[in-house]
Amino acid sequence: MSDDGTLIQAAMDARAKAHAPYSNFLVGCAVKSADGTIVQGANMENACYRLGVCAEQSALAAAQIAFGLENVAQLVVVGGPRHAEDSASGNPVMPCGGCRQAIMEAATLSGRDITVICCDHTGQQHMTTTIGALLPSAFDLPKG
Ligand code: THU
């Protein structure tokens, strides 16, 4: 399997563990470090709806523990409705605005852009982009 294929499969495995009983929209994410270490995350919803956590932020928390946000090189997000499993393909899930800011936090720490691959629930690769392209003119605090 290609390197991207391995990372997409890791995101799909994570999606299978999503806790999304309210939206029934399951999202998985895999993050790879510059030296090839992979961590995973999935969306974690809550009966208090607004307290749910997106897959990307869940994976970025794991990345910080495993190798530090400053070493994030690549991120894959896969998603789709729970009952989409029967359909051959769907639309790629795009990181929400808040997740784009969270991914940008990692890019700012490293001074490098981060590759973002967005896929549907089958893991088919639909779009490869970067966080710089997804969040132009990003907010940041002044240095110092
Ligand atoms: N979700 C993610 O996990 N990542 C995104 O970038 C978009 C949305 C989750 C949040 C919620 O659990 C479900 O998808 C529906 O919005």
pLDDT, position 86: 66
Which range (46-55, 104-113, 120-129) has the least confidence?
Answer: 120-129
Span from the CA of 70 to the centroid of ligand 1 (angstroms): 24
Position 44 pLDDT exceeds 80 = yes
Atom of ligand 1 nearest to the CA of 54: 3
pLDDT 10s digits, 68-121: 999 999 999 999 999 877 677 789 999 999 999 999 999 999 999 999 999 999
DSSP lists the bridge partners of residue 52 as none
Q: Taking CB atoms and a 6 Å cutoff, what residues make up the pocket around ligand 1?
A: 20, 23, 25, 27, 43, 45, 52, 54-56, 95-96, 99
H/E stretch holding 103 reads helix 97-110
Long-range contacts of 37-42 (CB under 8 A, 24+ apart): 37/66, 37/67, 38/6, 38/7, 38/10, 39/63, 39/65, 39/66, 39/67, 40/10, 40/11, 40/13, 40/14, 41/14, 42/14, 42/15, 42/17, 42/18
Average pLDDT, the chain: 95
